[in-house]
Amino acid sequence: MSDLYRSAIHARLQKLPPMPPPEELEDGDEEEEEADTLGSLPSMSPPPLPKSGPGSASTKTSHLDVYKPISASDYFDQALEINVPSPQLNFRVYYTPPKAKDGTIVVCHHGAGYSALSFACFSKEVTRLSNGECGIFAFDARRHGVQAQLFGHSTFSMHHIAFTGKTVPTPECRTPDVDANLDILTLVNDCMSLLTTVFPDPAVSPSLLLVGHSLGGSVCVRTVPLLLERKYRVTGVTVLDVVEEFTLDALPHMHALLHTRPTGFGSVEEGIEWHVKTNAIRNLTSARISIPAILVPSTSGNPPWRWRTPLEGTAPYWINWFTSLSSLFLSCKTARLLVLAGTERLDRELMIGQMQGKFQLEVISGVGHMLHEDNPTRLAEILVEFWRRNERVIVGVKKVGET
């Protein structure tokens, strides 16, 4: 929930197995499917907005040039649409395969209100630091993701539909609001269904390392036991900047804090500028990639761009998202890593677990709640070291969290 989450706390504390074959394509669709990679995407600049008056466009052009959206083509190899029948959703996935068949896939789940592109810079660093042994699989959760205009609508035409560029209900779905439910168990089912669709056979699936930011961390720790139950190989689980007790205590402050942020922006560039100048995201490059994915054109036109996923509307699920997070994290039967921003304290359960050596704790200084955007290189260094320790484990040496 951006630095709103952190502000509320301080107020109290002062190569992948082949993808499942798509439905048979009509003539000409195969060429479009082959083009479905980020390398083929146009620039992510939004469609031009109508001028409000003479000279109005020129007054801010030079000022906002530094905040222009940039393409994610240098950060992921592919942009995919994956049809998952169970929740009747087409998932937007960004994917970079590992170079080796026995490589590990880092599965990234974003936080509330954000998108998979928040992991773009981090993903590139993981690929570099692991020498390509770690692949990246980042996806947009339901009711989240980038708007079609930012990627070029006609580029993505698969399964007989024009791809809308975000996780959306499938064309055959007869319930328009099938993706409205953001209950934690629904989000876990989405994650599990997506992974088992892409990796249907646990025996030949690559090892999986789950990484979740805030809400995404809660989804990941609940998904791990389900994967292990089906005999998938899970290298570890990483939770980014969320502690159950402090998060739940911060929730009463959230509405007041959300009211202090804009309802929208005059342009995507203004949205990027706001996030950078308020330190919601402290990395300009990452903001230029990720923020366009969380804004959509307004139906009313005032303001012209609004939030894709308004956080106020997710309030009924906040307690549901984070309750029991600490105990579930500690009970994961895999290596565990918790990465926090600054000097946040652990709650009692995590403090006891740390003293018992049940998980690895890392703190990154000089970052905010969006630590994977603020300092993607440092986080990638931590994660790759964690992966090497637990995936390339020496016989007789216990993994992190093993008793």
Q: Give the active site residues.
A: 214, 241, 369
CA 336 vs. chain centroid, Å, equals: 19
Q: Are strands 234-240 and 335-341 parallel, antiparallel or unpaired?
A: parallel
Rg of the chain's alpha carbons, rounded to an integer?
21
- 325: left (phi > 0), else alpha (psi -120 to 50), else beta? alpha
For 111, counting Cβ atoms within 10 Å of its Cβ (0-12 exposed, 13-18 middle, 19+ buried), the class is buried
Half-sphere exposure of 301 (CA within 13 A, CB side): 4
190's enclosing H/E stretch is helix 184-198
Q: Are residues 218 and 184 in contact, defined by beta-carbon separation less than 8 angstroms?
A: yes
Take residue 399 and report the two structure tokens written for it: 């993994």
Backbone φ and ψ for 182, nearest 5 degrees, come out as -110, 25
Residue in the block written with tokens 């959703």: 89
Nearest partner of 114 among 5, 210, 38, 196, judged by Cα: 5
CA–CA separation, 160 and 158 (whole Å) = 5
Q: Are residues 339 and 381 in contact, defined by beta-carbon separation less than 8 angstroms?
A: no
Q: Is 136 helix (H, G, I), strand (E, B) or coil?
A: strand
**CA distances, 393 to each of 24, 355, 359, 385, 396 (Å):** 43, 22, 16, 11, 8
- How many Cβ atoms sit within 10 Å of the Cβ of residue 229? 8
CA–CA separation, 18 and 56 (whole Å) = 50
